[in-house]
Amino acid sequence: MAETREDANKAFDLFVSKYGAKYPKAAACLRKDRDVLLAFYDFPAEHWIHLRTTNPIESTFATVRLRHRRTKGSGSRKACLAMVFMLARSAERRWRKLNGSAVRLLQVIQGQRFIDGIIKERNAA
The whole-angstrom separation of Cα 68 and Cα 39 is 35
What are the pLDDT digits (tens) for 54-106?
A: 666 676 777 777 777 777 666 788 888 888 888 888 877 777 776 677 778 88
CA 95 to CA 8: how far, in whole Å? 29
76 three-class SS: coil
- Cβ-contact 52, 125 below 8 angstroms: no
Predicted structure pTM score = 0.60
Where residue 30 falls among pLDDT bands split at 50, 70, 90?
very high
End-to-end, the C-alpha distance of the chain in Å comes to 36
Exposed e or buried b for every residue in 10-35, given b needs 16+ CB within 10 A? Answer: eebeeebeeeeeeeeeebeebeeeee
pLDDT tens per residue, range 12-27: 999 999 999 999 999 9
